[in-house]
Amino acid sequence: MARARLVLDVRKHSKNSSGLFPIALSLYHTKQRILRLSYNTSKEGWDSKNMILKKSATANRDRDCDYINKILNEKIYTVKAIIDKLGITINDITVDTLIENIKESWDSKLDSTLKKNLSNGILLSECGKVLIDRKLKEGKPSTAKWYRESISAFTKFNNGKAIKLFHLNVTFLKEFEMDNKARGNSNNAISSYMRAIRAIYNSAVREDRYVPIKNPFNHYKIPTSRRTKKKALTKEKIVAIRNLRYKEGSNLWHTQNYLLCMFNCRGMNLIDLAKLRLIDIGDNRIFYGRSKTGDPLSVRITNEFATILEYYMKDKEKNEFVFPIGYDGSVATFKKYSSDRRLVNKLLKKIAEDAGIEEKITSYYIRHSWATIAKNMGISTEIISEGLGHHSIRTTEIYLKSFDNSVLDDANELVVS
């Protein structure tokens, strides 16, 4: 007699990029067959005894578990009903024939919404808009822009025609990759587009807005991003910039101060400098959360930084921004911040020229410069890796967070003095 259960397919190759495993039908009829379903979860999120999702699991937090469990229950009920109905005649058919009958029966029971999904009704742009709107509400306009630009790149490749999720198969993805390479786009650019589209696609699947026949991203390898060479200034060049003299209050004077402040704050990003308020300063330290990761950081105020702050903090209230480029992180003011950032980067090139520096520097040079100078001065690579040379800045931050602040502060004083 055939046996059937819903299981979590925890085989190593089954794990997806989010670390989740697919729920599958395990069917045994002379041979075992595993038929994956469109739902997945973590090991902690699966109740193997009752064959349902656990509502309390982190992996299932944003899902309608009652709805999914109802579907799963109907599927296993259908399978067992087929086995019972066949009775002894089941011995006359193969396990693969049984699987085909199960698939046909499942398909006949799909409700109209799911049938519409399978009949290619959902557009990539529709699903993308859901994530874009969320990111805008979360105050992450840069991520929203990434999704928007990636959808635009895919639509352009599709001759301007709207793309249905069903169109996103391995062939489509491979042809998009080849077309971009032929036009001279780098692996980094292609990978960026692909990762955005994958996030949109998987979100639609995860939230039950689309039921795929096969997830193409489980069978297509996104091109590997090459690590770009980290650009950094030597300490001598930082000193040359430090020694420049501009008219107080001029745009060049402010930009020079921004650069020196970022350098004194372990290579702080410009966006984090722009978000600083007086309330973030206390006990001779600044406290802030990195915009990229949300991780809280604390930096002791150096002598040079204190001198600069004295000018900007004068006659200001606690909740006011420290610097003129103040940015509150909202979508409404992101356009102004983007404009300010472009101006800062333009002026940094002028400052570099005045200091006799050939590199056309940007605000991001400062982060890599601090790290490279630290390494060249013999500061432990456990504190700061070569030019933030890990695969991601996040990895470097994890290294930094593992040390006591006093160690970081001493290292910072050595670098910026």
Domain stops at, among 99, 118, 137: 118
Q: Cα 360 from chain centroid?
A: 28
Q: Which tens digit of pLDDT belongs to each residue from 297-320? A: 888 999 999 999 999 999 999 999
Is the pLDDT at 114 greater than 90, yes or no? no
Structure tokens at 32: 């075992």
Are residues 366 and 251 located together in one domain of the fold? yes
Are residues 8 and 147 located together in one domain of the fold? no
Phi-psi region of 228 (alpha: psi -120 to 50; beta: other; left: phi over 0): beta
Instruction: Look at residue 88 and tell me if it is in a domain.
Output: yes
299 strand-pairing partners: 286
**Alpha helices of 29-140 — where are they, by DSSP H?**
65-86, 95-108, 112-118, 124-137
Instruction: Look at residue 399 and tell me if it is in a domain.
Output: yes
Residue at 224: amino acid letter: T
Using DSSP's 3-state secondary structure scheme, residue 28 falls into strand
Domain stops at, among 218, 252, 277: 218
Structurally, the chain folds into a number of domains equal to: 3
Are residues 24 and 52 located together in one domain of the fold? yes
How much is the mean pLDDT over the chain? Answer: 84
Are residues 319 and 339 located together in one domain of the fold? yes
Are residues 262 and 382 located together in one domain of the fold? yes
Are residues 361 and 251 located together in one domain of the fold? yes
Contact 58, 45 (CB under 8 A): yes
Nearest to 306 by CA among 324, 285, 332: 285
Task: State pTM to two decimals.
Answer: 0.56
Are residues 110 and 196 located together in one domain of the fold? no
Residue 376 sits in a domain whose CATH number is: 1.10.443.10
Residue at 354: amino acid letter: D
Pairing of strands 281-282, 52-53: unpaired
Are residues 262 and 213 located together in one domain of the fold? no
Percent of the chain with pLDDT over 70: 88
Contact 188, 228 (CB under 8 A): yes
Note down the domain range covering 30.
Answer: 3-118
Nearest to 122 by CA among 184, 41, 207, 58: 207
Q: Which tens digit of pLDDT belongs to each residue from 192-210? A: 999 999 999 999 888 877 8
Q: How far apart are CA 411 and CA 415, in angstroms?
A: 6
Are residues 112 and 132 located together in one domain of the fold? no
Instruction: Read off the pLDDT of each residue in 259-284 and give the average, rounded to a whole number.
Output: 92
Are residues 110 and 168 located together in one domain of the fold? no
Is the pLDDT at 241 greater than 80, yes or no? yes
Are residues 305 and 409 located together in one domain of the fold? yes
Q: Which tens digit of pLDDT belongs to each residue from 120-165? A: 468 899 999 999 999 888 888 888 999 999 999 999 999 999 898 8
Residue 407 pLDDT class (50, 70, 90 cuts): low
Instruction: Look at residue 223 and tell me if it is in a domain.
Output: no
Buried b (16+ CB within 10 A) or exposed e, 194-206: bbbbbbbbbbbbb
Instruction: Read off the pLDDT of each residue in 228-247 and give the average, rounded to a whole number.
Output: 85
Are residues 128 and 159 located together in one domain of the fold? yes
